[in-house]
Structure 1
Amino acid sequence: MKVLVGTCGFPKARRVVYETLDVVELQETFYNMPRRERMAELRREAPEFRFTAKVFQGITHPPDSPTFKRTRGFKPGEGHGLLKPTRENLRLWEEFLEAVAPLRPEVLVFQTPPSLKPLPHIYDFFRSVAGGWRLAWEPRGETYRDPGLIRKVADLGILIVVDPLRREPLPADLYYFRLHGLGKGEVNYRYKYTDDDLKKIAAVIRKLRGDAVYVMFNNIYMYDDAVALKQMLSREAPDT
C-alpha cells in the first residue's frame, strides 16, 4: 500500500514542502472559489507533486457560517450550502470543478460543519455529484448520529474521511485521514503528536488493505508531525 503523508495547507515555504512531503491539501479552495490561473500556476510550479483540494464552503457550510468572513466576491444564498442538492449548489459545484481542474487534484474533500444534521438530502447530493472525480467526505458532529447514512454515502464510492486515532476507517480501496489533534473536542490545533501517537497511526496503516492512504495533518505542528511520521514509516519499511 502506498502511504502519502502531507499537510492541510502549506506550513512552510512551498519549495520545502514539495521536497520533503508527499501531498498537500489546498485550503484556499475552501475559503474562496479557486481561480483557474492560480491552480495552473501551482501545477506548473510542481508538475509531479500530489495535490488534493478542500471543496468551496459555499457548497458545504450554512450562509451564516463565520468562515465566510474570509470569502471574497461570493455571497451565499438560501439555496447554497449544507450539501443540499439544489440548483444553486449543483451550479456552484460545476463552477468549482471547472476552476480547480488545472491543478489536477487527486481527491476533492468535502468537510461539513459539526452542526450539520444527518438528513437524507446529503445522500441525494452525493449521488448527484459522484463519478468522474475521486471525492471524500469528512462528516463531523451531528452527522455521526446516523452511521447508516455514512455507509450509504460510502457505497457511492465516496471516501469517508476519519481521524484514525478517533474512529475506525471504513474498508475501502483508498483511505483519507485528516488529523486535527487530540483532546476533548473534535479539533485541537495546538496539539503536538507524540511518538506514541505516531506509532498508533503507523499500526492502523499496517492493518489497512487497499491501494493507498492519504495521511493529512492539520494542526499547528503539522509539518514537523508529518515529517516525523514519514521518517518512522521509512524506518519500518522492509529492505528491498
Structure 2
Amino acid sequence: MIFVGTCGFCEARKRYFQNFKTVEIQQTFYRILKEKTLKKWQSEAPEDFIFSIKAFQGITHPANSPTWKRSNVKPSRDVGFLKPTNEVFKYWEITLNEARILNASFILIQLPKSFKETEENFANAEGFFSKISRDIEIAVELRGWSEKGIKKFVREFDVIDVTDPLARKPLHKGNINYYRLHGAYENGRIIYKHKYTDEELEKIAERVKEWNKKESYIYFNNVYMCDDAKRFKRLI
C-alpha cells in the first residue's frame, strides 16, 4: 500500500479528507495544541484516515532556533537535541498525548541540521530513547548525517529512517517506509519553492514502488505540495 499526503492541511480540511488518506500534522511542532482542537480534527476525519504528527520542537530544537518565534511556549536551555532532561521528557509526553488523541500512526522526530553526527548527540539519543514511552511508531529525519551514522541510529533505536526518495534509499529494517519531499536542493540548502516535474514524480514513483515494503507514506512539503501530491497520486 502506498499513501500520499502533505505536511499540513494544504486545503480546507473537508476537501483534504476527500482528496487524501493521510496527513502529517505540522502545528504540533510549533505549538502545544488544545485537546479540543485535536479531537475536532479526529472526529472530522474518515474512519480509515491516517494521521502522523510532528514532535514538538522542545524535543528537537535548541532555544536559539528561529522556529521558537512561532511557539506559544518559552524555551529554556534544557530543550532540544533529544537531551534526556525533564523538560524534553515533558514535551515528549505532551506530543505522545496529542498523537493518542488523534489516534495517530506515527510521530515524526525531525532533527535540525545543527544536530551533528557526534558522540554527544548519539549519547543524548540513547538517554532519550531508553526512557520514553513509545506505543506509536517513531520516524526520524536526520539531516547531514552519513549513511553509516543514519543506519546505526535507526537500528540502535528501532525507528523509521525518513528520507527523500530522490536522495537515497531508506536504511532501516521493518515493513514501513516514510518519505518527505521538501523540494530541490542547492549547495546544501532546501529550495521549498520548487514544483516537481513530471520526470521527477515518475522517478519518485519508480523508486517508491521498487523499495516498497508493506506500506509506504509519501508527504510533500514544498510550496506547491497540494498540486504535486495530487499529480503524484494520479501517477501511481
Alignment TM-score > 0.5, same fold? yes
* 1:154 partner SS: helix
Q: How does 1:10-25 map to 2 (within 5 A)?
A: 10-25=9-24
The aligned amino acid for 1:71 is: S
Instruction: Note the aligned Cα RMSD (angstroms).
Output: 1.7
Gaps of 5+ in 2: none
Once the two structures are TM-superposed, the CA of residue 130 in structure 1 deviates from its matched residue by 6.3
The aligned amino acid for 2:4 is: V
Equivalence for 1:138: 141
Equivalence for 1:180: 182
**Are the equivalent residues in 1 in contact too, given 2:169–2:211 (CA < 8 A)?**
no
Number of aligned positions between the proteins: 229
Once the two structures are TM-superposed, the CA of residue 208 in structure 1 deviates from its matched residue by 1.8
* 2:222 partner SS: coil
**Are the equivalent residues in 1 in contact too, given 2:177–2:212 (CA < 8 A)?**
no
State which drifts further: 187-196 or 92-101.
92-101
The aligned amino acid for 1:55 is: A
Query: Does residue 1:227 correspond to 2:230, yes or no?
Result: yes
Gaps of 5+ in 1: 234-240
**Are the equivalent residues in 2 in contact too, given 1:154–1:160 (CA < 8 A)?**
no
Equivalence for 1:147: 148
Q: Deviations over 1:82-122 (max 9, x none)?
A: 11112221122112212342111111001111111122222
CA distance in 2, matches of 1:218, 1:20: 16
Equivalence for 1:80: 79
**Are the equivalent residues in 2 in contact too, given 1:130–1:156 (CA < 8 A)?**
no
Q: TM-score, normalised to structure 2's length? A: 0.91
* 1:187 partner SS: strand
Equivalence for 2:69: 69
CA distance in 2, matches of 1:153, 1:28: 25
Cα distance change of structure 1 residues 186 and 130 upon mapping to structure 2, 3 Å threshold: farther
**Are the equivalent residues in 2 in contact too, given 1:126–1:153 (CA < 8 A)?**
no
Q: Deviations over 1:145-196 (max 9, x none)?
A: 4733542333432001000101221243101000000131342111000111
Q: How does 1:77-116 map to 2 (within 5 A)?
A: 77-116=76-115
Equivalence for 1:51: 51
* 1:85 partner SS: coil
Once the two structures are TM-superposed, the CA of residue 77 in structure 1 deviates from its matched residue by 1.1
1:207 to 190, 205, 210: 210
Q: How does 1:154-173 map to 2 (within 5 A)?
A: 154-170=155-171, 171-173=173-175
Equivalence for 2:130: 127
Q: TM-score, normalised to structure 1's length? A: 0.89
* 1:128 partner SS: coil
CA distance in 2, matches of 1:34, 1:107: 17
**Are the equivalent residues in 2 in contact too, given 1:53–1:109 (CA < 8 A)?**
yes
* Amino-acid identity (%): 39
Once the two structures are TM-superposed, the CA of residue 199 in structure 1 deviates from its matched residue by 0.8
The aligned amino acid for 1:188 is: I
**Are the equivalent residues in 2 in contact too, given 1:180–1:218 (CA < 8 A)?**
yes
